[in-house]
Amino acid sequence: MATTDIGPPDYKEMLPEVIAKNYGKWKYHEDIKPGVLKHVSETGDEAFTVRCGSPRLVSVDLIRDLCDIADKYCDGHFRFTSRYNPEFITPNKDNIEPIIAAIEKIGLPVGGTGRGISNMIHTQGWIHCHGAATDASGVVKAIMDEMYDYFVGKKTLPQKLRISLACCLNMCGAIHATDLAVVGVHTRVPTIDHEHMTVLCELPTTQASCPTGAIRKHPDPNIKSVTVNDDKCMYCGNCFTVCPAMPIAHAEGDGIAIYVGGKVSNARKAPMFSRLVIPYIPNNPPRWPEVTSVLKNIVEVYASNAHPFERVGEWIERVGWERFFKLTGIPFVEQNIDDFELARDTLRTTTQFKW
């Protein structure tokens, strides 16, 4: 049997020399130009970072191409950011332009720093997930093609703007607290395969999985299965997660919802959840044009209305959600009003509002 529990490699083996030497001694940093950072140490040392985008779903060949660049210019070291961006770090300023040229040669865009749009956090989608209500990589590719100028710094925004995508309500990856969140949604109740229910599923777990208590034991004691109260089902798909005999995916019912205004940083305002602004857009592969145009509109309205350094959520909280819907032209519909467990917290209990 193989060795077990050896854990990951020690990070100390992986650090470039300039990082190891100045570990914990960094004094300040500057954005030199889009995609390039300069960090200055108490020791007087400087480290230059070149950041680029990647599609996240990559071949070993692309990672080897990145290794080649690191071998040539960065003494065999590189890293990734929390948003899938490869970074090349060098103490040698003269390496910046050759690194940029090498990155562009393998087809990756340099950028993702400062007041723009960095890479999208996203999930697996139809590439690999059984519960996906939409694709991930394909939608992300379509959105990032549209947002490209904000990544490479050709266009800037009042503050950084983060876009994320989750292909179902599980929202893997802090999708619920991001400036623009793209979320795969089902809109039809699950079907029940009574015949295979006891083979595939544990009934109490299946019942307990429902957030609204819509799933009950089948009233006929001879049928070892469950029933769904359609009126209580809000299509979260959690029953399918625990019980394969309750498929919920539906070609015409599945689609995308857009949530807006979340953030995780504590800067200025406390972290915020993203809020539902568009409950449903049908899946329209390969480029999801309705989704990209909606996002482009929100980004542009934010760009021309927010104060400098306001995140999307801070801007909306300042002007009011009623102004947000007016400025973006997005229709306000019944799904925008919460009716889950903490709904009352979102109702307006004051006469103060804007027309």
Partner 1 sequence: MDDKTPMMDELEKGPWPSYVKELKKAAKKSDAAKDLIKVQERSFEEKMTMWKHGGIVGVAGYGGGVIGRYISRPEEFPNVQAFHTLRINHPSGWFYKTDRLRELLDVWEKHGSGLCNFHGSTGDIIFLGTTSEHLQPIHDEITAIGWDLGGSGSDLRTPTGCVGPARCEYACIDTLDFIYNITMEFQNELHRPPFPYKTKIKASGCPNDCVAAIARADFSIIGTWHDNLRIDQDGVKEYLDSGFDVQGLVVNKCPTNALEMVNGKLELAWPEDCVRCMHCINMMSKAIRPGVDKGATILVGAKAPVIHGACLSSVIIPFMKMEPPYTEFKELWLKAMDWWDENGRTRERISELIDRVGMRMFLRAIDVEPVPQMVYRPRANPYVFFDKGV
Site for partner 1 in 188-217 (CB under 8 A): 205, 208-209, 211
Which window, 190-198, 234-242, 297-305, 319-327, contacts partner 1 (CB under 8 A)? Answer: 234-242
Rounded to a whole number of angstroms, the minimum distance from the CB of residue 36 to partner 1 is 14
Q: Which parts of 69-98 interact with partner 1 (CB under 8 A)?
A: 70-71, 76-82, 84, 86, 89
107 lines the binding site for partner 1 (CB under 8 A): yes
Strand partners, 272: 263
Which window, 218-226, 244-252, 315-323, 325-333, contacts partner 1 (CB under 8 A)? Answer: 244-252
Which window, 135-143, 186-194, 315-323, 327-335, contacts partner 1 (CB under 8 A)? Answer: 135-143
Nearer to partner 1, 193 or 326 (CB): 193
Rounded to a whole number of angstroms, the minimum distance from the CB of residue 204 to partner 1 is 9
Going by C-alpha positions, the residue among 68, 119, 74, 66 that lies closest to residue 96 is 74
| 3-class DSSP state of 305 | helix
Place of tokens 């300039």: 18
Amino acid identity of residue 65, one-letter, is D
CA gap 122, 295 in Å, rounded: 16
- Kindly tell me the sign of the dihedral angle through the C-alpha atoms of 51, 53, 56, 62: negative
Which window, 129-137, 218-226, 296-304, 315-323, contacts partner 1 (CB under 8 A)? Answer: 129-137
Going by C-alpha positions, the residue among 116, 117, 14 that lies closest to residue 75 is 14
The encoded tokens of residue 256 equal: 């995308």
Rounded to a whole number of angstroms, the minimum distance from the CB of residue 144 to partner 1 is 4
Going by C-alpha positions, the residue among 251, 213, 256, 254 that lies closest to residue 231 is 213
Rounded to a whole number of angstroms, the minimum distance from the CB of residue 93 to partner 1 is 16
> Under rule CB under 8 A, how many of the chain's residues touch partner 1?
115
Amino acid identity of residue 73, one-letter, is Y
Query: What are the b/e assignments for 37-65, b being 16+ CB within 10 Å?
Result: bbbbbeeebbbbbbbbbbbbbeeeebeeb
Per CB under 8 A, the list member of 21, 45, 62, 232 interacting with partner 1 is 62
CA angle 211, 178, 255 (to 5 degrees): 60
Rounded to a whole number of angstroms, the minimum distance from the CB of residue 172 to partner 1 is 5
Rounded to a whole number of angstroms, the minimum distance from the CB of residue 329 to partner 1 is 26
Report yes or no: 88 and 72 within 8 Å, Cβ to Cβ. no
Per CB under 8 A, the list member of 93, 130, 318, 348 interacting with partner 1 is 130
Residues in the chain: 355
Per CB under 8 A, the list member of 192, 236, 256, 277 interacting with partner 1 is 236
Q: Which parts of 13-52 interact with partner 1 (CB under 8 A)?
A: 13-16, 19, 23-24, 26-30, 39, 47, 49
349 lines the binding site for partner 1 (CB under 8 A): no
Report yes or no: 11 and 80 within 8 Å, Cβ to Cβ. no
CA angle 334, 281, 279 (to 5 degrees): 25
Going by C-alpha positions, the residue among 183, 339, 176 that lies closest to residue 273 is 176
177 lines the binding site for partner 1 (CB under 8 A): yes
Which window, 1-9, 92-100, 297-305, 315-323, contacts partner 1 (CB under 8 A)? Answer: 1-9
Going by C-alpha positions, the residue among 309, 263, 254 that lies closest to residue 281 is 254
Report yes or no: 297 and 246 within 8 Å, Cβ to Cβ. no
Nearer to partner 1, 129 or 228 (CB): 129
Nearer to partner 1, 53 or 328 (CB): 53
Per-residue mark of binding to partner 1, 281-320 (x: CB under 8 A): --x-xxx--------------------xx-----------
Nearer to partner 1, 88 or 328 (CB): 88
